Structure 1
Amino acid sequence: MSIFSKSKKSSSRGQIQIKEVVDNILVLPNNEYRQILETSSVNFELKSEEEQDVIIDSFQNFLNSLPCEIQILVRVREVDIDRYVEDIGRTKDKETIPAYKKQIEGYCSFVKKLVSGNKILSRRFINTLNAIKI
């Protein structure tokens, strides 16, 4: 006999109780507020040292200026490049100009070579701002 109950799985809507949504802000039943934002990334290593310092200082100032808690979720996933290459292959098959076909073939082999030794990752940054109770 298992020590875990086999209760019926509930939907995510049932697990996350939301009273209402006002101006893209979630109002929870206990009068707490949440706002969820997705932000983009910056290729930090390609920036100059001065630019990196500016980014760090700006981020520090941003965090210090927040009047509430923040949660930052970084989701990293491997990208399936095979489907992308297949889509490009279908484009090549439809192409009627030989020079364009040749260029598409070259691009496909470039992408295949690029990913053969490297994993291609996508990163998403989800930020949750937790406002104080009112």
Structure 2
Amino acid sequence: MTDSEPLIARIPADVDRPDKVVSGLTARQLLILTLTGGVAATIYWTAGKLLPIVVLAAMLLPLVAVGIAVALGRRDGLTLDRYGLAALLHWRSAKELVAAPEGVPVPPRWCRVRGRLPEPLKLPIRAVRTDGVLELTDGGVAVLVEASTLSFHLRTADEQAALVGAFGRWLNSLDAPLQILVRARRIDLSSQIDAVERHAATLPHPALEEAAREHAAFLAQLNASRDLLTRQVLIVIRDNTPTTGRRRAVRDAGAAVALRRAAEAGRSLAALGLTAHVLDAEGAHQALAECLDPGGDLVSETFAEPITGREER
């Protein structure tokens, strides 16, 4: 392969796909089909001499059809057995959750309650420290690092290979697991439009001022006619130090380790041409609030880069 050839690596879309055991079937599918066949055979041999064949067919055919559908069918990317289990758990779970760390008090005996009582909302984060470190309910800590993006497809083949190699070296250097979250969020360009209009009068040439005002008008039209989205990349770095001994001292030590790993991640990503910084308490609080309420208030950023938009109808 020459240096000008693009570096291509085929990665399956479903990297968590289970292994095929027999005839393209997984172990789970074989188990479901075996259980279905065993139940159908037991019913046939038990009631075969007592019931007509038409009645047996009416009993066994739906059973076999349901077993095959559960083993081979999929819904929303999930197998039907897992989808049914998730639906059952959702049906049994409480639909109203309230912020009550101490628990929901039981009403007195004389009070008649219609329906189910709300259950406490259990969040994985206990508190946000002033330095931006998240204290988790399981005793660990986490740090949020916001990273910028780059245009990979606009690079040459050699540049792409260098980026992939540098990114791979960073992943291989990790000594603890981390999570990379890429999400799209809505933005409002009002602050950027106001900044362009405010600085237009200070430009040294009338042509530049006119171009700036035309650009502000274009942004205003774009902001009013489309639902703009921007891409945000968050890197979650955790430290799961066991909480033995003095709890506060252990949390402080874990926070120092997580912040050190976040600084190392920022230096490694800088070699890729990316800008990464640790979110402070205000930034971490805003990121968590947006994740809990994706359709909430618009994000207004002066340097937000829209990635796509949907036309309003």
TM over 0.5: yes
Which structure has the larger Rg over C-alpha atoms? 2
Query: 1:45 corresponds to which residue?
Result: 153
Q: 1:85 to 1:71 in 2, by over 3 A?
A: closer
1:95 matches 2:201? yes
**Higher strand share goes to which structure?**
1
Partners of 1:23 and 1:124 in 2: how far apart? 21
Instruction: Give aligned-pair identity as a percent.
Output: 22
Structure 1 moving runs of 4+ over 6 Å = 112-116
Code of the residue aligned with 1:108 in structure 2: it is: A
Unpaired segments ≥5 residues, structure 1: none
Superposition RMSD in Å: 4.2
Could you tell me which residue of structure 1 aligns to residue 215 of structure 2? 107
TM-score norm. by structure 2 comes to 0.32
User: Gaps spanning 5+ residues in structure 2: where?
Assistant: 1-92, 102-121, 243-313
Residue 59 of structure 1 is matched in structure 2 by: 167
Distance 1:80 1:24, change over 3 A: closer
Q: 1:43 to 1:131 in 2, by over 3 A?
A: same
Contact 1:68 1:132 in 2 (8 A): no
Q: Deviations over 1:25-62 (max 9, x none)?
A: 54545443322211111121222211111111111111
Match of 2:185 among 72, 77, 87: 77
Q: Does the aligned pair in 1 maintain the 2:140–2:238 contact within 8 Å?
A: yes
SS at match of 1:17: strand
Length-normalised TM-score, structure 1 = 0.62
Q: Is the CA contact 1:73–1:127 (under 8 Å) kept in the aligned structure 2? A: yes
Contact persistence 1:27–1:33 (CA under 8 A) = yes
Alpha-carbon contact 2:145-2:235 (below 8 Å) kept: yes
- Measured in 2, the distance between the counterparts of 1:56 and 1:125 equals 17
Q: Work out which structure has the larger RCO, using CA pairs closer than 8 Å and 6 or more positions apart in sequence.
A: 1
